[in-house]
Amino acid sequence: MQRNLIENTGSNIGRYTSALLSTLYMGAGQIANGQWLKGIFLILFETFVLIPSVPLLLKNLKGLITLGETPMVDHSLFMMIYGILAAVAAIFLIVCYLVNIRDAYEHGLAIDKGGKRKGWKETLSDMIDAGFPYLILAPGILCIILFTFLPMAFNIMIAFTDYDLFHSPPRHILNWVGFRNFVEFLTTASWANTFKQVMLWTVVWAVLSTLTTYLLGMIIALILNNPRIKFRKVIRTILILPYAIPAFISILMWKGMLNTNFGIVNHLLTTTFNMQPIPWLENVFWTRFAVIMVNLWLGFPYSMMMITGILQGLPNDLYEAATVDGASGFQKFRYITFPLVMFSVAPLVIMSFAYNFNNFNVIFLLNDGLPAVFGLQGKAGGSDILISWVYKLTFQSLKFNYAAAMSLIIFLLIVGFSIYNYTRTRSFKEEEMLR
């Protein structure tokens, strides 16, 4: 009879009553369910953390909406950053509140079904078991929020303001302008023409720089995979040197060697082949050709070593069977080597394309995106790609809103391309089949 009385009492509390109590005040439902330790902790959390933070959160969220009201007093950029942090904090607190309500409901439901009330020891054990993974993940999540999400959100928001040289805080209060930057950027004749030219060269650059490095790396890996070649290890070591030297140093060395008047490349061409000096860094075509060749010099060793590892892992049984069937060397490559290698490297090729799409170092260090081209806006040069143009828009033209809008466009293009192509690779499809 006493047992039935306890169960009936638990049923009278009920899951809905527990959830309602936790809705009115965090931890109240847990205390009603007998979870005193958890309930007291949640009450203290709402009393000393959640409630005192509400006015500050509302103030910063308001600043995110208005971006300030008084020039030289309110700084729109700081208010935007504080507003983003306030939004993240508000989402975190709301999630905590909802989890509190769900916890009270689920424990009340367990009591309704005849479950035993948990004592403080069981509650503490459950809190440790359930919270340990989140405690371990918390530093990483915090770093992602501060160093990835916050800059990304800040950049996206700048794209929808009028932030430029003539509207700079704290002298001016920034204004939200919606999609005006994108419309002006893509419809104004001079800016649209510049965008089309730079965009086209960026795609060509990304495709050629990716394919050339992987193609040359594959050719060299196939040659050095032949056991009849002597000193293969020595040759591989020599060919890795361009990748071992810091790219910054290599690019600056190439910049000097490609100098039209004093570079060693033109000196060899004129003395050995009696050719006219090539304007490597003064002509648009030759500059683009040069950056692709320099990128090839820097990138092929990585592709060579990666494909070498893949080739050494391929089963010899396939090649022996192909030899018995009378397959030629080209047929072995076409039907065995190439498909198996591409199965492994296809996702990496897509990642390399995304990387080269934003490969700022080669473009900027070799020739600063030059030579200059008449009619291009935002100080864009003949070898500039989108990301180097964004740099010039930011630090040279001081068109921060246009630069942010361009960064958002680049982000959407790369994400869309990567997802579309990666989901169509054999490695992705066969991985889905194995699940």
What is the per-residue pLDDT across 307-328, written as a single tens digit (0 to 9) for each? 998 888 888 888 888 888 888 8
CA pseudo-torsion sign 9, 15, 17, 23 = positive
- Pair (269, 352) in one structural domain: yes
Answer for the pair 32, 20: CB distance below 8 angstroms, yes or no. no
Residue 12 banded pLDDT, cuts 50, 70, 90:
very low
φ, ψ dihedrals at 209, nearest 5°: -65, -30
Per-residue CA distances from 372 to 218, 284, 318, 357, 377 (Å):
36, 8, 54, 21, 10
Q: Note whether 234 and 324 are same-domain residues.
A: yes
Picking from 158, 190, 219, the residue at the C-terminal end of a domain is 158
Cα(126)–Cα(38) distance, integer angstroms: 10
pLDDT digits (tens, 9 = 90+) for 133-188: 888 888 898 899 889 999 999 999 999 999 998 999 999 999 999 999 999 888 88
pLDDT score at 431: 52
How far is Cα 103 from Cα 19, in angstroms, rounded to an integer? 8
Say what the pLDDT of residue 213 is.
95
> Do 7 and 131 fall within a single domain?
yes
Which among 358, 205, 207 has a CA at the least distance from the CA of 287? 205
Q: 135 and 203, same structural domain?
A: no
Domain interval for residue 147: 2-158
Model's pTM, two decimal places? 0.82
Residue 24 within a domain: yes
Geometric angle at alpha carbon 58, from 53 and 64, rounded to 5°: 125
Q: 2-11, 260-269, 423-432: lowest mean pLDDT where?
A: 2-11
**pLDDT, position 34:** 82
Is residue 164 one of the residues assigned to a domain? no
In a domain, 105, yes or no: yes
Residues 184 and 226 in one domain: yes
Q: What is the mean pLDDT of residues 85-114?
A: 90
- Across residues 330-346, what is the average pLDDT? 87
Helices and strands counted in the chain (H then E): 21, 0
- 189/132 same-domain check: no
Q: Residue 356: which of 228, 167, 208 has the closest Cα? A: 208
- Other beta carbons within 10 angstroms of residue 434's beta carbon come to 6
Residue at a domain's end among 158, 193, 226: 158
Judge whether 379 lies within some domain.
Answer: yes
Question: Which DSSP symbol is given to 50?
Answer: I
pLDDT band at 11 (very low <50, low <70, confident <90, very high): very low
pLDDT tier at 5 (50, 70, 90 boundaries)? very low
Q: Is the pLDDT of residue 3 over 50?
A: no
The answer to whether position 167 is within a domain reads no
pLDDT band at 229, cuts 50/70/90? Answer: confident
Residue 435 pLDDT greater than 60, yes or no: no
Do the domain assignments include residue 126? yes
Contact predicate 177/160, CB 8 Å:
yes
Integer-rounded Cα Rg, in Å, for the chain is 31
Q: What pLDDT, on a 0 to 100 scale, did the predictor assign at position 118?
A: 65
How many domains is the chain partitioned into structurally?
A: 2
Give the pLDDT of residue 346. 84
Mean pLDDT of the chain: 87
**What pLDDT score does 429 carry?**
58
H/E element holding 65? helix 51-66
Residues 147 and 258 in one domain: no
Do 121 and 187 belong together in one domain?
Answer: no
pLDDT value of position 243? 87
Any domain includes 165: no
Residues 353 and 401 in one domain: yes
Same domain, residue pair 285 and 342 = yes
157-184 in b/e form (b: 16+ CB < 10 A) is bbbbbbbbeebebeebbbbebeeebbee
Specify whether 122 is located in the same domain as 235. Answer: no
pLDDT of 227: 84
Q: Is the pLDDT of residue 90 over 60?
A: yes
Query: What is the per-residue pLDDT across 23-81, written as a single tens digit (0 to 9) for each?
Result: 999 999 989 888 888 889 899 999 999 999 999 999 999 999 999 999 999 999 999 99
Vertex 399: Cα angle to 396 and 403 (nearest 5): 100
Question: What pLDDT score was predicted for residue 430?
Answer: 60
CATH number, residue 241: 1.10.3720.10
Q: DSSP for 351-369, please give it.
A: HHHHHHHT-HHHHHHHHTT
Residue 388, both tokens: 């180097």
CA distance 226 to 235: 13
Domain match, 276 and 224 both: yes
In a domain, 98, yes or no: yes
* For range 200-210, the mean pLDDT: 95
The pLDDT score that the predictor gives to residue 120 is 63
CA distance 386 to 282: 20
